[in-house]
Amino acid sequence: MSIDKKLLEILCCPVTKIAVKSLPKAKLQALNASIAQGAIRYADGSSVDEALDEGLITENETTIYRVDDDIPIMLEDRGIPTSQLQDS
């Protein structure tokens, strides 16, 4: 199941206030591959240990937020900087 479109219209990054959109499947797969290799950290420096089923990415494509059980985790410390990804 995906995040409600009306909710997606009002969500924004808690740090930059930039709007977010659904993370495309190709980027989600690349992110999860990097997570499996232990190469991804949250903004607070802690390791991302679980793959994402779904994610949101800021419109400027600098931060990814996970979505767990259709609930966006929009916390500053739990943002995933895209600078860690090879193709970002």
pTM for the whole thing?
A: 0.92
What is residue 88's predicted lDDT score, i.e. its pLDDT?
45
Rounded average pLDDT over 1-18: 88
What is residue 1's predicted lDDT score, i.e. its pLDDT?
53
What is residue 4's predicted lDDT score, i.e. its pLDDT?
80
Region of 77 on the Ramachandran plot (φ > 0 left; ψ -120 to 50 alpha; else beta): alpha
pLDDT digits (tens, 9 = 90+) for 19-63: 999 999 999 999 999 999 999 999 999 999 999 999 999 999 999
What is residue 87's predicted lDDT score, i.e. its pLDDT?
57
Rounded to 5°, the CA angle 75-81-83 comes to 175
